[in-house]
Structure 1
Amino acid sequence: MMAPYNSFQAALVGLLCLSGVSTSLTVPAFDSISHSQIFERGEDLGAEYDYIVVGGGTAGLTVADRLTESGRYSVLVIEIGRYENGTSVTTASQGIYGFLDSTLQFNIPSVPQADLNNRTIGVIVGKVLGGSSAVNGLQVMRGQKADYDRWNKYFGGGSWGWNAILPYFKKAWRLYPPTPEFVSTNYKVKWNTKYWGSVGKLAASFPKYAFPFQNELLKAMDEIPGVKFAEDSGSGDVGVWWHPSSVDPATWQRSFARPAHWDGVETRSNYDTLVSHKVTKVIFQGTTAKGVQYIPASATTLAGARTVRAKKEIILSAGTIHTPQILQASGVGPKALLRQANIPVVKDLPGVGANFQDHWFQLGAQYTFAKFRPTFQGPNDLYSNATFLAEAQAQFAQNFSGPLSIASGSAAGWFPFRTIAPDTYKSIADRYEAQNPAAYLPPGTDKTVIAGYQAQKKATAALLRSKDAATYNLFIRGDESEGGPVYLHPVSRGFVNINPADPIFAPPLVDYRALSNPADIDILYEFTKFTRKFYAETSIKKWEPVETAPGLGVTTKDGVAEYMRATLTPSVFHPVGTASMLPLKYGGVVDQKLKVYGLKGLSVADASVMPDLPGAYTQETAYVIGEKAADLIKARA
């Protein structure tokens, strides 16, 4: 594992939260929690279960909870990470502490990025019971209606459009509206409970405080032609939101997959969990999945490997990075790669590991405000001003209020590419759509994966021309330093593959292939110009913003591209796409029922099935995949 805290991580923590502020929350002891029966030794398991869920993360624990709640089915969850109930995962106030704990995450070095000056990027995903929901930035947000409708269009219809999955968003989450005081003192705080459930196991709540400078920034956003304030962050509309965070307002602790879908299940005799163990492969009889092989997470050989059988189905929920590794190690994937690794081919599926995507950040156009101090206090004051910190701690201790009630950035603008000059965005979309789909994919890419990218190109070009889908995200924290948009729909595509020399014990080979498609540079150049206009041509200019990166001397597209190659980070820890829900002719791995093509008894339920990125962070959508997967699985039981 790489160093636990590098400059890449520091940049994200600076963007999303203040991770170094302690609030001394009381955490329940392990023995006081009612939960699934937990094992740390493989020999303690039963010989077979109705269902085996590989991965106890965001979607995996959701699936297991829903499959066991009736008592009809027995379920085993195998999680490579450990059980952890300390403040690293439970603390919500001003932090993502788990992100700073290297023992709770994988940090896999990517292959050198050819178009990012050969830099290597840390590929970071959760490694703990609860998965990435235990260590993420706590942002609760969902994509636009058009994002999910697009998933249906790849199939010519189906059950994954906005109207079909909105009930699952509502089932998963319970919204706790903001306090009247928070609404009255902040600019255009909007929410609508019709987009949320009232009994969901996951809490979505608002802070009780916002830094005053946020209001200045939001007022300036309201001056941008065509930009609207959405009626709710969950409405599926483009615009500016105050978004909630995954925080339980009764305790002000993180609300994530483990307390929602594991702690609170009461002791179910039909639900076992094995932690600190790694599934090495799925065991097939012909083309039917019959069980899995597993070893301790610390093992370095297969000596002593054990197996457990599934009577009905195996559900892979190991995540976008490790689900393709398990599939390929099991003989499911591109046959040329499998043969190179001396793995017998069970099913030639070229799309396994392909179509890899993530949101990008560190995109430049960052600002500091010359007139900020002493007019305002911001998040950085919790570091630099001991008196302010002490006051904040006292407020939080009294009633979970004040600056420490902010779990993450609480306002964000999500803008369509149409906010750019019409001739410009149309020209970029037209050029991108006209590309040869194979030109910017890895050499030797299978024709079905190429066909899938062609379909995605057409859909993405339509997205760029649309006013109903967001491409650009700007978080507003109310601090003396702001800027740095997030790119929601990169057009470059990467891959995640086993290392043929050591498929099981070596980390997978991860290549973002960032900026491999020149259309990304065209789009990011427009992002830079748009961000500059926001800070220089709205009322925010009275606070005298000073561009700190890339600097006003960088004006040409070539100059911006050079800056991006040196600084861009092609991950906000939202990897998707490596076991895509696409038609088989498009390089798909699973169908709309999440069943792996050509195999029986094997499905995938995690972010890897997303065929392309939603225009928002992925936590909410991952839970929806788990909720819907459980219904699909029960329907075919």
Structure 2
Amino acid sequence: MAWLKAPLLGLTPLLALSGVVNAYPSTLLALRDREVNAEQLQASYDYVIVGGGQSGLVIANRLSEDPSKSVLVVEYGYFDNNPAQLDPSSAVNYRPINMFNVSSVPQPGLGGRVSGAFAASVVGGGSTVNGMMFDRGAADDYDNWEKLGNPGWGFSGLLPYFKKSTNFTAPRADLAEEYGITWDAKKAYGTNGPIQATFPDWLWPTIKVQWKAWAELGVPIQKEAAAGDAYGAFWVPTNNDQTYRRSYARSGYYDPVASRKNLKIITGYRTNEVLFSAKKHAESITIQERGTPNGAPTISVKAKQEIVLCAGWLHTPQVLQRSGLGPKDLLDEAGIKLIVDLPGVGANLQDHAVTSIGYSYATDLSPNPSSLYTNATFAAWAAEQWLDRKGPLSVGVGNSLSVPSLPQMSPNYKSIIAKAQVQNAAKLLPSTYTSVNVKGFVAQRDLLLKTFSKRNNGVVEITFSGGGTSSLSNEKPLSRGTVRLNTTDHYAEPIVDFNTLINPTDTDIMVESLKFARKWFATEAMKQLSPSETSPGVNITSDADLAAYVVRSMGSTTAHSSGSAAMAPRHLAGVVSPELLVYGVTGLSIGDISLIPMIPSTHTCATMYAVAEKAADLIKKRSRK
């Protein structure tokens, strides 16, 4: 094997595996963070962006392209200059300083377990700490946004922005030929966008067997999923540059333009409220230094044109609620003056809940992912390769997915749909939902159940990268949760309830996904690996036992939380219009993941670059009127 033929320089310390011995790119080291402090703040800016996460930096970049427009970004977190944060290993290692410390309330659908919640607190937001899988949902996912009452937000309306945000580089020719990697760069990607996408320098040999097994099972094999065909099995690039360093909102959208005189950022400050005029125009925000107690001095900053909320799924609804925009009952309880009764603020919370299936391979191919820990010679070779930014350590969480449709996955799909169609929606939704919330959910459910019967959209994501364990994520949940202000402490973290698995359809689908994954492991192709099931376990066979396994093993989140300030018609509990303007007020818009009305069957990073690019264009268009 090739790795055995390479010269070894001895056992490199395992510290090299983490990438911390590699220098931060010189261009980033030379760049000074162009921050302002409180004393340097101006009284007003044309645009004030609340949140310097992924979407906030995209929008700030695009709005500051006009040198006559001043832009301020207010971010609670800080810059992370740790070189290891750029390496593939960071895809599964989230530094606590970059994350909010938030957990959900106990989840009845999970037997009362509490779930952690992922929300980034760092410049670049979720793009700084995510798994770097750079895929998109099926065209049908985004077309459903449009069918819900959001003209211009279907796949054809978003594809130009998907392309605008990307710079795709094909994989190494020999690797592509050996592993059958396929893509369609012209149809799906841009060539000079800020975010780079490519494939790693290495793939595990066992993945060839796994790909063969999907084909044997009859799962459609896509040439390029990012062009709208994200169903079946397909290859997924990683948002890395050509040295396998993280390409993210900071490196792509902020660092190259940080020296613009009209673009400023202040870090370490919390946005407390948006303040409105008597005519309900958003005039300013109040901000407070991180770590200071409630009641400490605040600073007011005015926006001459627009305030753009990009505080994420967790804090955008919280800022709205603190500002008097949200469900009347909640604001009354909190003692906050109501500006606009918007029942959708903090409702409609969705995520991709996840379980797993595990096997051990008695006759696995070598090397394999466990070789990094069980084979000292291979580990040393891998570490030496990584000194030149090559080899196995260029691999992140993986580059292959299977997202089967419900008809592909289950012979029972019609009965699953039929059961969902006759559900009493109100009984399966949070008790805080109003009739407007219920009506909005039913409109979503009607669209989702039509999608469930299609073969060109998937309902569960099954990961595979050469190992024996695969995660199974529920990509189209019917359960809905909430993000609600803590009424006794408005500045504490909001109360999060994912409501995972409350809708029994979600459990039904996950049971079918486990049975389908077992069929995959039982294919003729997989026999050469001699797989034996370790979880759920061969003794768990009935649907009831599989459902019980789902309840005790499911996690509420894959860090794709979204939808908590949805873009939808107001009579369907929408919070923002298709122009992303908050209903009932002027001068206030939303540009982050909270506006997604229905979560797509994909990791959300690539989608949010496109959404933010489109948001910036909408804001620019308003300024020209």
TM-score with structure 2 setting the length: 0.94
Task: Check 1:207–1:151 CA distance in 2 against 1; reply closer, same or farther (3 A cut).
Answer: same
Q: Match for 2:91 among 96, 106, 123?
A: 96
* SS state at 2:345 partner: coil
- Contact 2:17-2:383 within 8 A present in 1 as well: no
User: Residue 433 of structure 2 aligns with which residue?
Assistant: 445
User: Residue 5 of structure 1 aligns with which residue?
Assistant: none
User: Residue 248 of structure 2 aligns with which residue?
Assistant: 256
1:517 matches 2:503: yes
Whole-angstrom distance in 1 between the partners of 2:496 and 2:274: 22
User: Residue 337 of structure 2 aligns with which residue?
Assistant: 344
Q: Tell me the CA shift for residue 266 of structure 1.
A: 4.8
Q: Tell me the CA shift for residue 534 of structure 1.
A: 0.9
* SS state at 1:247 partner: coil
Q: How does 1:127-276 map to 2 (within 5 A)?
A: 127-155=121-149, 158-225=151-218, 227-237=219-229, 238-249=231-242, 251-276=243-268
Q: Tell me the CA shift for residue 408 of structure 1.
A: 2.7
Q: Match for 1:109 among 97, 100, 103?
A: 103
1:326 matches 2:315: no
Question: What letter corresponds to residue 299 of structure 1 in structure 2?
Answer: T
- Contact 1:21-1:382 within 8 A present in 2 as well: no
Q: How does 1:542-553 map to 2 (within 5 A)?
A: 542-553=528-539
Question: What letter corresponds to residue 215 of structure 1 in structure 2?
Answer: K
User: Residue 583 of structure 2 aligns with which residue?
Assistant: 597
User: Residue 461 of structure 1 aligns with which residue?
Assistant: 449
Question: What letter corresponds to residue 437 of structure 2 in structure 1?
Answer: V
Whole-angstrom distance in 1 between the partners of 2:296 and 2:20: 45
- Contact 2:320-2:326 within 8 A present in 1 as well: yes
Q: How does 1:299-338 map to 2 (within 5 A)?
A: 299-338=292-331
Task: Check 1:402–1:279 CA distance in 2 against 1; reply closer, same or farther (3 A cut).
Answer: same
Question: What letter corresponds to residue 104 of structure 1 in structure 2?
Answer: N
Q: Tell me the CA shift for residue 395 of structure 1.
A: 2.0
- Contact 1:324-1:578 within 8 A present in 2 as well: yes
Whole-angstrom distance in 2 between the partners of 1:304 and 1:23: 39
C-alpha distance after superposition, 1:17-71 (max 9, x if no partner)? x9963362211479854467312x3232111000000000111100000000121
Question: What letter corresponds to residue 155 of structure 2 in structure 1?
Answer: W
Whole-angstrom distance in 1 between the partners of 2:617 and 2:33: 20
Question: What letter corresponds to residue 481 of structure 2 in structure 1?
Answer: G
1:79 matches 2:66: no
Task: Check 1:119–1:30 CA distance in 2 against 1; reply closer, same or farther (3 A cut).
Answer: farther
Question: What letter corresponds to residue 228 of structure 1 in structure 2?
Answer: P
User: Residue 388 of structure 1 aligns with which residue?
Assistant: 378
Q: Tell me the CA shift for residue 439 of structure 1.
A: 1.8
1:432 matches 2:416: no
User: Residue 480 of structure 2 aligns with which residue?
Assistant: 493
**Structure 1 stretches lacking a partner, 5+ long:** 1-17
Question: What letter corresponds to residue 174 of structure 1 in structure 2?
Answer: N
C-alpha distance after superposition, 1:551-583 (max 9, x if no partner)? 121122221222222111010000010000011
Q: Tell me the CA shift for residue 432 of structure 1.
A: 0.5
Q: Match for 2:55 among 55, 59, 84?
A: 59
User: Which moved further from structure 2: 100-109 or 493-502?
Assistant: 100-109
User: Residue 9 of structure 1 aligns with which residue?
Assistant: none
Question: What letter corresponds to residue 466 of structure 2 in structure 1?
Answer: G
Superposition RMSD in Å: 1.7
Question: What letter corresponds to residue 52 of structure 1 in structure 2?
Answer: V
Whole-angstrom distance in 1 between the partners of 2:255 and 2:325: 34
Q: Tell me the CA shift for residue 301 of structure 1.
A: 1.5
Q: How does 1:377-416 map to 2 (within 5 A)?
A: 377-398=367-388, 400-416=389-405
**Structure 2 stretches lacking a partner, 5+ long:** 1-14
Q: Match for 2:277 among 266, 280, 285?
A: 285
- Contact 1:177-1:191 within 8 A present in 2 as well: no
Question: What letter corresponds to residue 42 of structure 1 in structure 2?
Answer: A
- Contact 1:356-1:576 within 8 A present in 2 as well: yes
* SS state at 1:115 partner: helix
User: Residue 630 of structure 1 aligns with which residue?
Assistant: 616
Whole-angstrom distance in 2 between the partners of 1:164 and 1:519: 31
- Contact 2:54-2:249 within 8 A present in 1 as well: yes
Question: What letter corresponds to residue 418 of structure 1 in structure 2?
Answer: P
- Contact 1:35-1:264 within 8 A present in 2 as well: no
C-alpha distance after superposition, 1:442-489 (max 9, x if no partner)? 22421111001101111111111011111121111112x222312111
Give the count of matched residue pairs: 607
Q: Tell me the CA shift for residue 234 of structure 1.
A: 1.0
Whole-angstrom distance in 2 between the partners of 1:553 and 1:76: 58
**Sequence identity percentage:** 35
Question: What letter corresponds to residue 360 of structure 2 in structure 1?
Answer: T
Whole-angstrom distance in 2 between the partners of 1:559 and 1:20: 40
- Contact 2:269-2:289 within 8 A present in 1 as well: yes
Task: Check 1:497–1:88 CA distance in 2 against 1; reply closer, same or farther (3 A cut).
Answer: farther
User: Which moved further from structure 2: 58-67 or 236-245?
Assistant: 236-245
Q: Tell me the CA shift for residue 233 of structure 1.
A: 3.2
- Contact 1:172-1:624 within 8 A present in 2 as well: yes
User: Residue 121 of structure 1 aligns with which residue?
Assistant: 115
User: Residue 371 of structure 1 aligns with which residue?
Assistant: 363
Q: Match for 1:25 among 15, 18, 22?
A: 22
* SS state at 2:151 partner: coil
- Contact 1:140-1:243 within 8 A present in 2 as well: yes
* SS state at 1:484 partner: strand
Whole-angstrom distance in 2 between the partners of 1:191 and 1:478: 24
Q: Tell me the CA shift for residue 591 of structure 1.
A: 0.6
User: Residue 290 of structure 2 aligns with which residue?
Assistant: 297
Q: Tell me the CA shift for residue 528 of structure 1.
A: 1.2
- Contact 2:216-2:523 within 8 A present in 1 as well: no
Whole-angstrom distance in 1 between the partners of 2:524 and 2:379: 32
- Contact 1:171-1:200 within 8 A present in 2 as well: yes
- Contact 1:34-1:265 within 8 A present in 2 as well: no
Task: Check 1:579–1:62 CA distance in 2 against 1; reply closer, same or farther (3 A cut).
Answer: same
C-alpha distance after superposition, 1:132-159 (max 9, x if no partner)? 100100110011100000000011x610
Q: Tell me the CA shift for residue 546 of structure 1.
A: 1.2
Q: Tell me the CA shift for residue 119 of structure 1.
A: 0.8
- Contact 1:175-1:193 within 8 A present in 2 as well: no
Whole-angstrom distance in 2 between the partners of 1:19 and 1:95: 13
* SS state at 1:100 partner: coil
Q: Match for 1:578 among 564, 571, 588?
A: 564
* SS state at 1:38 partner: coil
Task: Check 1:432–1:339 CA distance in 2 against 1; reply closer, same or farther (3 A cut).
Answer: same
TM-score with structure 1 setting the length: 0.93
C-alpha distance after superposition, 1:250-304 (max 9, x if no partner)? x321100001111001511111100011101111113110010001111221311
Question: What letter corresponds to residue 610 of structure 1 in structure 2?
Answer: I
Task: Check 1:421–1:32 CA distance in 2 against 1; reply closer, same or farther (3 A cut).
Answer: closer
Whole-angstrom distance in 2 between the partners of 1:87 and 1:233: 32
* SS state at 1:486 partner: strand
